[in-house]
């Protein structure tokens, strides 16, 4: 019994001491948010100590090796991370918590037992969270214990409280100093998890050559509240060797908070508007872009000072710019009948190949375009496509797939022209040279002229590409006995409405003789 009393006394003393601790508040001075759910944060505060010790709240999700600190005046001997009991104010979101919020308040409870109901009126004397039991002091002075599960209705005064104080555990960092200090600047920095951002793009075509490109960022914060902090968004792919592995200071100390708070999602839309308001004629002719800067291989969008509430999503416009685009169709035909392997010119002449309608754009903005979804509408505001925009540096070109061009029909046919009787000896093996002729047929059933880029891949040496551009690629066949290179011939053509275009090609392939 004496041991139990001693333990209770120790706990009470520790609780009282925790209430008297003066915690040095640290304010965020800079935040840089990465797309992978991590962010860099720097914080500062004024530390004072009359006992060679001061306290601050350490980061809960610091990444391995990224937490660092500095004291302008004075020397830090060590920092100890510990759990400390405290009391926190919580918002009531259940019958029990509302009762706990209104101790010493009159209440009328409606009780339900099976199909029978009754009412009881009294003063809330106490509430026991673990037992889910409320103690009412009745008019005659007696106490009545009621299980919250039996309560079907609560009647409180209109000025009833909606929050209560609960015991909890908080993580504190105890800074041990070499000597006492007075108002010395204390700063920390680290990478943490809990904030991420994703870019989104919107292209609205204006005419046959120009379009408006809008860029926005969606930020999600599940970490902590930040008020009036310079925020930047990072574009790039930095080396993060330890990924999201937590630092020892965060991973070894588990928070034992007083229960789970309900997640309330907030959506905050910035007052920076884009160029699109649902009207095809509303596209802005003005160029607006958020300022930024490049640091080595990373680019930083500087958003200025912002407030980011915990469990909130923020949408910010990063820019709007008029760009030029090229309307293009693309057709890629792989080597469907590898003659070296099959010894047969077996292409099905009736087989059709997919032609894609694409937009080719150049990044003429002042910032790189990070990988993200892109939505495209025509000049009348009708939706055309939703694709993924790949990372595009400043000045580079990229393509956006709009749709399969079902009104552009294509097929390919091949036949053997000859076989050379003169054997070729390579690597102690005999080969013969087979010449093959192919023909690609394209028909434009659309009522408009199209620009189309065609590529044909061949496992062999192209000898006639019909004025196309021929590129030799490294041998991609896994079989080391294949002595043929991979050749690609490319054409760029214009096909008029309802016109049929034929492209001839010839190639040679070395075939192994058994």
Q: How far apart are CA 7 and CA 195, in angstroms?
A: 41
pLDDT at position 201 over 50: yes
* Average confidence (pLDDT) over 384-410: 95
CATH classification of the domain holding 143: 2.30.30.520
The reported pLDDT for the residue numbered 88 is 66
491 closest CA partner among 332, 348, 334: 332
For residue 156, is it within any domain?
yes
Domain shared by 330 and 463, yes or no? yes
Model confidence at 122, pLDDT cuts 50, 70, 90, reads very high
For residue 10, is it within any domain?
no
pLDDT at position 24 over 50: yes
Domain shared by 311 and 456, yes or no? no
Of residues 261 and 177, the one with the higher pLDDT is 177
* Average confidence (pLDDT) over 232-259: 74
Which of 155-159, 272-276, 372-376 is the most confident on average?
Answer: 372-376
Tell me whether residue 62 is exposed, middle or buried, using C-beta atoms within 10 angstroms of its C-beta: 0 to 12, 13 to 18, 19 or more. buried
* Residues 6 or more apart whose Cβ sits within 8 Å of residue 167: 15, 85, 86, 87, 258
For residue 19, is it within any domain?
no
Residue with tokens 């508007």: 273
Bridge partner list, 412? 440
Domain shared by 499 and 367, yes or no? yes
* Average confidence (pLDDT) over 191-204: 95
Q: Are 275 and 287 in contact (CB under 8 A)?
A: no
Pairing of strands 106-113, 181-193: unpaired
The reported pLDDT for the residue numbered 218 is 96
For residue 17, is it within any domain?
no
| Domain extent for 283 | 26-85+174-316
pLDDT per residue over 54-100, tens digit each?
Answer: 999 999 899 999 999 999 988 999 999 888 776 667 788 888 888 88
Domain shared by 353 and 229, yes or no? no
The reported pLDDT for the residue numbered 511 is 84
Domain shared by 101 and 151, yes or no? yes
What DSSP element (H or E) covers 339? helix 339-342
Domain shared by 497 and 354, yes or no? yes
Mean of all residue pLDDT scores within the chain: 84
Q: How far apart are CA 191 and CA 65, in angstroms?
A: 9
Model confidence at 437, pLDDT cuts 50, 70, 90, reads very high
Which of 28-32, 85-89, 238-242 is the most confident on average?
Answer: 28-32
**Whole-structure pTM value:** 0.72
Domain boundary among 316, 334, 369: 316
For residue 288, is it within any domain?
yes
The reported pLDDT for the residue numbered 113 is 85
Model confidence at 33, pLDDT cuts 50, 70, 90, reads very high
The reported pLDDT for the residue numbered 110 is 92
Domain shared by 301 and 183, yes or no? yes
Domain shared by 302 and 368, yes or no? no
* Residues 6 or more apart whose Cβ sits within 8 Å of residue 140: none
The reported pLDDT for the residue numbered 268 is 45
Domain shared by 436 and 482, yes or no? yes
Domain boundary among 261, 289, 316: 316
DSSP 438-472: EEEEEEE-SSS-EEEEEEEEEESEEEE-TT-EEEE
* Average confidence (pLDDT) over 417-446: 87
Domain shared by 349 and 391, yes or no? yes
For residue 32, is it within any domain?
yes
For residue 5, is it within any domain?
no
For residue 16, is it within any domain?
no
Q: Token pair of 59, please?
A: 């980061």
Model confidence at 22, pLDDT cuts 50, 70, 90, reads confident
pLDDT at position 258 over 60: no
Domain boundary among 316, 333, 361: 316
Of residues 164 and 313, the one with the higher pLDDT is 313
Give the number of domains in the chain: 3
DSSP 126-191: EEETTTTEEEEE-TTS-EEEEEGGGEEEEE--TT---EEEEEEEEEEEEEEESS-EEEEEEEEEEE
pLDDT at position 274 over 80: no
Q: How far apart are CA 180 and CA 76, in angstroms?
A: 11
Domain shared by 426 and 336, yes or no? yes
Domain shared by 466 and 350, yes or no? yes
pLDDT at position 115 over 80: yes
DSSP 210-275: EEEEEEEEEEEE-S--EEEEEEEEEES----TTTTPBPHHHHSS----SSPPPP--EEEE-S---S
pLDDT at position 365 over 80: yes
């Amino acid at each position: 019994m004496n041991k139990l009393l001693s333990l209770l006394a120790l706990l009470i003393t520790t609780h009282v001491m925790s209430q008297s601790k003066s915690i040095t508040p640290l304010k965020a001075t800079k935040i840089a948010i990465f797309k992978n759910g991590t962010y860099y944060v720097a914080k500062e505060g004024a530390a004072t100590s009359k006992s060679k010790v001061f306290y601050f709240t350490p980061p809960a999700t610091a990444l391995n090796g990224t937490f660092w600190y500095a004291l302008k005046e004075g020397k830090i001997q060590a920092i100890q991370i510990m759990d400390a009991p405290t009391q926190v104010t919580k918002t009531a979101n259940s019958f029990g918590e509302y009762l706990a919020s209104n101790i010493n308040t009159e209440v009328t409870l409606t009780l339900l037992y099976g199909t029978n109901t009754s009412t009881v009126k009294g003063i809330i004397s106490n509430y026991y969270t673990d037992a889910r039991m409320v103690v009412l002091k009745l008019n005659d002075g007696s106490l009545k214990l009621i299980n919250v599960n039996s309560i079907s209705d609560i009647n409180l005064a209109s000025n009833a409280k909606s929050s209560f104080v609960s015991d909890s555990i908080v993580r504190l960092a105890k800074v041990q100093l070499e000597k006492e200090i007075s108002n010395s600047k204390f700063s920390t920095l680290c990478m943490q998890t809990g904030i991420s951002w994703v870019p989104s793009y919107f292209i609205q075509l204006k005419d046959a050559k120009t379009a408006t490109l809008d860029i926005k960022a969606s930020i999600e914060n599940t970490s902590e509240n930040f008020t009036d902090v310079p925020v930047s968004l990072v574009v790039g792919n930095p080396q993060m060797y330890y990924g999201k592995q937590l630092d020892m200071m965060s991973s070894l100390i588990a928070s034992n908070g007083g229960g789970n708070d309900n997640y309330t999602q907030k959506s905050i839309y910035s007052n920076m508007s884009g160029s699109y308001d649902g009207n095809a004629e509303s596209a802005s002719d003005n160029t607006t872009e958020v300022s930024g800067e490049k640091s080595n291989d990373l680019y930083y969008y500087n958003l200025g000072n912002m407030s980011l509430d915990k469990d909130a999503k923020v949408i910010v416009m990063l820019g709007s710019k008029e760009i030029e685009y090229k309307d293009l169709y693309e057709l890629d035909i792989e080597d469907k009948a590898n003659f070296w392997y099959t010894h047969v010119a077996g292409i099905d002449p009736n087989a059709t190949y997919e032609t894609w309608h694409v937009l080719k754009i150049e990044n003429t903005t002042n910032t790189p375009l990070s990988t993200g979804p892109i939505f495209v509408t025509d000049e009348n505001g009708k939706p055309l496509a939703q694709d993924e925009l790949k990372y595009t540096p400043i000045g580079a070109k990229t393509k956006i797939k709009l749709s399969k061009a079902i009104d552009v029909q294509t097929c390919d046919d091949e036949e053997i022209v000859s076989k050379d009787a003169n054997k070729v000896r390579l690597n102690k093996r005999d080969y013969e040279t087979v010449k093959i002729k192919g023909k690609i047929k394209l028909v434009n059933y659309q009522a408009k002229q199209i620009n189309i880029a065609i590529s044909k891949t061949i496992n062999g040496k192209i000898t006639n590409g019909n004025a196309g551009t021929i590129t030799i690629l490294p041998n991609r066949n896994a079989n080391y006995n294949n002595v043929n290179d991979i050749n690609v011939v490319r054409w760029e053509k214009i096909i008029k409405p309802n016109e049929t275009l034929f492209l001839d090609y010839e190639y040679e392939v070395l075939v192994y003789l058994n």
